Copies of this chain bind each other. A is one copy, B any other.
């Protein structure tokens, strides 16, 4: 692992994909991504990581739903009244969740059916093409990523890794960052378990979540208003394989902050 002088300088590029039209239910998202990447002079290449936001995948997959689909329960009505929320939106959060982790003032931190822990079950009521709509997370983000990976291969011949991102808050730290909620064609973790460090001992930090780091890098080129919903990371030699974002989720029994 040591890098002698004169050896290769590690470098990767993070490239926003521009010119993607507003995505609608049923759209061929992979086709739009392939066309847009080519149109801006950066067609997909073998070994690229394609990073795509949850929102365009959800839109293409029809996960944008009318708020009126969510008839509020008594619990949702009470919570919404006390904290001046839309009760239908609260109901949507509850239906997308299997567990409420914290309910403090108007904040609902829940565990989604996928196992992700985040505010409001990752539901977004803004910027989804109409004021009375909500955008839910994809039903199976890993499967969505596999679909994109396969479609990019079919159209371009390029074997890419895919990471689907969402922008989550964190305990302990202000601000949100992009993290991985879906993965295909790459291993989300890079393990250094058993590797000796420079003193010959095992290293302290042994597993890096590269999928989350790829997601974080991509955010820096993405617009916050859907103008740039995807990015290419080129030149980073991720570990290829059939990974999944489910591997990243810490099991409840191993969680020190349940």
Contact = CB atoms under 8 A, between A and B. Distances in A.
A16 interface: yes
A167 interface: yes
A24 to B, nearest CB: 13
Given A12-B14, A13-B11, A16-B9, A197 B225 contact: yes
A175 B239 CA distance: 15
Interface in A3-39: 3, 5, 7, 9-16, 18-19, 22, 39
- Copies of this chain in its oligomeric complex: 2
A174 B1 CA distance: 24
A220 B189 CA distance: 12
Given A3-B19, A18-B9, A131-B199, A224 B192 contact: yes
Interface of A: 1-3, 5, 7, 9-16, 18-19, 22, 39-42, 102, 104, 107, 109, 117, 124-131, 167, 170-179, 188-189, 192, 195, 197-199, 201-205, 207-210, 212-214, 216-217, 219-221, 223-228, 236, 247-250, 255-257
